[in-house]
Structure 1
Amino acid sequence: MSTAALSTLASARGTGGFTGALSDLFWRRPRFLLFLLLLPPLLWLGIIYLGSLFALLLQSFFSIDEFSGLIDRTFTLRTYAQLFQPANYDIILRTVVMAMLVTLASVAVAFPIAYYAARYAKGAAKAFFYVAVTLPLWSSYLVKIYAWKLILAKEGILTWGLGKLGLLPLLDAWLSLPMVGGNSLSLSATGTFIVFVYVWLPFMILPIQAAIERVPPSLMEASADLGADAGQAFRTVLLPLALPGVIAGSIFTFSLTLGDYIIPQIIGTSRLFIGQAVYAQQGTAGNVPLAAAFTVVPVVIMGIYLWAARRMGAFDAL
């Protein structure tokens, strides 16, 4: 553009009054425009999200007066000490173990599916893969859980199918085990585990599939040319390069399992998880400090997990 045209444009911009001056300001200072565009979401993040987290953390340093039942706003670590009582510690341990098992099972189920989609699915097959993986996310969360409750019930289709196959004695033997069993699959820790894996599985498949697609097939071919069998190529080439996707998926499955309270409330035994403990302490018992202390536990666990993953270099290829 010529100098005359630029001067004409500048004079036209200058004659637009306040709107023209504002447009001229944004044109001359693009970073100021970017700041104004980012200001609303930053305020929302800083005030609503981080502010609520800070208020929650502050509540956890208070305690409940044993006589009046009112909140004593004197700073103390007594509420955190209650987390190590046997009943509360058992809730934390149960939740963390369940989250770990759900994450490991999700990786085991998701990796073959993601590998097939990344390496072999083309065209319409890949489109069908994305629809099939994301389709459960389109339906209501509660509808899916109640559907699984019917499936896992003693009169449900799963028990009926196992009966037709003659596997009911095996199911009864499994449900008789103390930690994983119950009256039926819908009233057992096993049922809770199955539903957790089903609900969070899409959050594991998609990151792994994206990570595998970034691994050049020539690397696998080169490892085979160098004498590596399929197992060695998977352990030394594919898995390390796909680890960022596994870590990304595990962040979803692990953290969502830690905080969920609806699935254990509908499917499972009467043993509480962290989410149920928070709901019970804040709603029924009115012990807001202890509920806040319980909610800090998943935050601390995920912080340690992300720090360890970063130290291992799992985020380098993200």
Structure 2
Amino acid sequence: MSVVSTTDLPRRDGVTMRLSDTLWRRPTLLLVLLLLPPVLWLGIIYLGSLFALLLQSFFSIDHFSGLINYEFTLRTYAELFTPANFDIIVRTVTMAACTTLASAVIAFPIAYYAARYAKGRWRAVFYLGIMMPLWSSYLVKIYAWKLILAKEGILTWALEGLHLNWLLDAYLSLPVVGGNSLSVSTTGTFIVFVYVWMPFMILPTQAALERVPASMLEASGDLGARPGQTFRHVLFPLALPGIVAGSIFTFSLTLGDYIIPQIIGTSRLFIGQAVYQHQGIAGNIPLAAAFAVVPIVIMGLYLYIARRMGAFDAL
């Protein structure tokens, strides 16, 4: 049997035909042409904007004239450690961590039920219930929660019907977490963050739990392990990459969000709000850029740890 070389094939007429033949003979060229547009977009638009942002953070602003001083300095980064600015960073990171932890605790039993017991039609209902909140408008969901958590909202009405309004008043009187109502409190911000980002925690956790063989859980029980021991030593370690993968979404999205704290919560700023105010209202672009670098650094460290824990295998 004779083998015909690709160089021996007859050339076809027409620009399109010749181009098709050239790309077929040179698959590397085809690969380069396919990858060139997304690589250029990533390199110029995304990485270029990040580099410009990083460059702005090394400048400073003249507080007397309000003009940017284009001289290399670390003075702007030093401003991040002033009590007011550092408090913003700590508040944002704490909220992101609490949101991630609460999302993991709530999402795990839901994901476990979906992975182990939901079959056929019920599995479809599960996915529909998880994905449906993502189909509605982001702002609509936030304003809906603002009405629910308001002093005249349905939650207060339900507690009044149960004669538990005193309990809500006692909770709202607590410092830091309380306020005039849940809609203008740190607790309200936390509740909405958990609700909005919960699906991003459930789905990776459910995918990781589906990979856990049922035989391993059965073997653990056969060897005399109690349910708590099986959970600690078998189920949780195997599901941990999925939980960490979900935490990447919940943590990063909470870290950079500025709309939820703007609508629901107190007047205390988060990083996203600080970036918005310094860039748009105060005109202090270097400080806004320095604030924007903080989540990038935090998420860089977080992604490195998540990668070491095998979280990307569960995405």
Bin for the TM-score computed over the shorter chain:
over 0.9
Distance 2:70 2:132 in 1: 47
Distance 1:196 1:72 in 2: 38
Alignment of 1:58 onto 2:62: no
Shift of 1:9: 11
User: Please, which of 236, 250, 254 is the counterpart of residue 253 of structure 1?
Assistant: 250
In the alignment, which residue of structure 2 is the partner of 1:280? Answer: 277
User: Please, which of 128, 142, 146 is the counterpart of residue 143 of structure 2?
Assistant: 146
Shift of 1:285: 0.2
Greater shift in the superposed pair: 233-242 or 182-191: 233-242
2:204·2:314 contact (CA, 8 Å) conserved in 1? no
Distance 1:108 1:152 in 2: 22
User: AA paired with 1:160?
Assistant: W
In the alignment, which residue of structure 1 is the partner of 2:287? Answer: 290
Shift of 1:272: 0.4
2:151·2:181 contact (CA, 8 Å) conserved in 1? yes
Shift of 1:227: 1.1
Distance 2:280 2:5 in 1: 67
User: Please, which of 301, 305, 308 is the counterpart of residue 302 of structure 2?
Assistant: 305
Identity score, percent: 76
Alignment of 1:47 onto 2:18: no
SS of equivalent residue, structure 1 residue 99: helix
Shift of 1:215: 0.9
Distance 1:299 1:285 in 2: 22
Distance 1:16 1:210 in 2: 51
What do the CA deviations read for 1:220-264 (whole angstroms, capped 9, x no partner)?
011111111111111111111111111110000000001000000
In the alignment, which residue of structure 2 is the partner of 1:100? Answer: 97
In the alignment, which residue of structure 1 is the partner of 2:200? Answer: 203
Shift of 1:18: 3.2
Distance 1:182 1:306 in 2: 35
Describe how 1:206-225 pairs up with structure 2 within 5 A: 206-225=203-222
What do the CA deviations read for 1:145-195 (whole angstroms, capped 9, x no partner)?
000000000000001111111211111111001100000000000000000
User: AA paired with 2:110?
Assistant: I
SS of equivalent residue, structure 1 residue 277: helix
SS of equivalent residue, structure 2 residue 187: helix
Shift of 1:309: 2.5
What RMSD, in angstroms, separates the aligned Cα atoms of the two structures? 1.7
In the alignment, which residue of structure 2 is the partner of 1:72? Answer: 69
Q: Give unmatched runs, 5+ long, in structure 2.
A: none
Alignment of 1:85 onto 2:74: no
Per the alignment, do residues 316 and 249 of structure 1 end up closer, same or farther by CA in structure 2, a change over 3 Å counting? closer
2:6·2:25 contact (CA, 8 Å) conserved in 1? no
Q: Give unmatched runs, 5+ long, in structure 1.
A: none
Distance 1:133 1:316 in 2: 22
In the alignment, which residue of structure 2 is the partner of 1:161? Answer: 158
User: AA paired with 1:149?
Assistant: K
Alignment of 1:111 onto 2:108: yes
Per the alignment, do residues 90 and 17 of structure 1 end up closer, same or farther by CA in structure 2, a change over 3 Å counting? same
Shift of 1:204: 0.4
Greater shift in the superposed pair: 244-253 or 303-312: 303-312
User: AA paired with 2:130?
Assistant: V
Distance 2:245 2:181 in 1: 34
Normalization by structure 1: what TM-score? 0.95
In the alignment, which residue of structure 2 is the partner of 1:23? Answer: 20
In the alignment, which residue of structure 1 is the partner of 2:184? Answer: 187
2:207·2:314 contact (CA, 8 Å) conserved in 1? no
User: AA paired with 2:43?
Assistant: G
User: Please, which of 112, 119, 124 is the counterpart of residue 127 of structure 1?
Assistant: 124
Per the alignment, do residues 63 and 221 of structure 1 end up closer, same or farther by CA in structure 2, a change over 3 Å counting? same
Shift of 1:16: 2.2
Normalization by structure 2: what TM-score? 0.96
User: AA paired with 1:283?
Assistant: G
Shift of 1:312: 3.9
